[in-house]
Amino acid sequence: MINRLTGTTFLGADRRGKYLVLPLDSGDAVMVHLRMSGQLLLAAAGATRPNHTHVVAHLAPGEGQSDEELWFVDPRTFGEVVVFDPDRDPPEIPELARLGVDPLGDPFDAAVLAGLLRGRGRQLKALLLDQHVIAGLGNIYTDEVLHSAKLHPMRLATTLKQADVVRLADSISSILRDAVRSGGSTLSDAQYVDLMGSGGSYQDNHCVYGRGGESCRTCSRSVIARVMQGGRSTHFCPRCQK
């Protein structure tokens, strides 16, 4: 990885689902997946590095700028940093090639979603979390999306009517865009931060996630339930999401 990075220039920053993709002027690209605890941090060269800093990229300064470093910090060591050729066939990172529709980067509406759901007799929560179907939805935003669309997380996808699909597609798009504008959700562990180490604020808008046992902000007549599905916590309002 060091040889393929040395002397190259980052041309930009993009993403596909939960993967960050940074194209290089060499034709290669850097793929970063933060997983559960990863962080990308920009810092002054020589600054004290946090524990669990696994990758350090030394950046050449621009005119009038000081030396900086790009750190990849990951306490749980689940994350990935890989230099790859995006045009190689077969792909060097097959999981990128297998990703499903990205609601923020691909054409996405109720018709597209209906096609993705057709014939899939799975519960909605599990289906929306499947990155091979829809890329980019994690546990937090799946709970928020289903609440916004008034759909129970254990409902089977095959039972949705057209109006349900329209609400679900609209909720996926609006929740994700609002979350991006708010810098994401930084929870009490403060693990999710931006490049400068600042947290997001979308957690202030959570209607269900992390609010088990609290009053529903939507109907004010029920209490948010928390159950376990597939090893993950799921939050929903039993009244709003029947």
Average pLDDT along the chain: 95
Q: Give pTM, 2 decimals.
A: 0.94
Could you tell me what percent of the chain has a pLDDT over 70? 100
According to DSSP, the residues that pair with 29 across neighbouring strands are 23, 84
Q: Sheet containing 68-73: which strands, arranged edge to edge?
A: 39-44, 68-73, 53-59
pLDDT digits (tens, 9 = 90+) for 210-230: 999 999 999 999 999 999 988
Residues 6+ apart with CB under 8 A from 90: none
Per-residue pLDDT at 81 exceeds 90 = yes
CA–CA distance, 125 with 123 (Å, rounded to integer)? 6
pLDDT digits (tens, 9 = 90+) for 17-68: 999 999 999 999 999 999 989 999 999 999 999 999 999 999 998 777 889 9
Find the mean pLDDT for residues 123-146: 97
Per-residue pLDDT at 132 exceeds 90 = yes
pLDDT at 229: 86
Is the dihedral angle over the CA atoms 130, 178, 32, 8 positive or is it negative? positive
Q: Which amino acid, residue 205?
A: N
Find the mean pLDDT for residues 57-81: 92
Per-residue pLDDT at 197 exceeds 80 = yes
pLDDT at 190: 83
DSSP 109-141: SHHHHHHHHTT--SBHHHHHH-TTTBSS--HHH
pLDDT at 185: 97
Determine the Cα angle at 96 with ends 91 and 102, to 5°: 140
**Are β-strands 232-236 and 53-59 bridged in parallel, bridged antiparallel, or unpaired?**
unpaired
Tell me the pLDDT band of 193, cut-offs 50, 70 and 90: very high
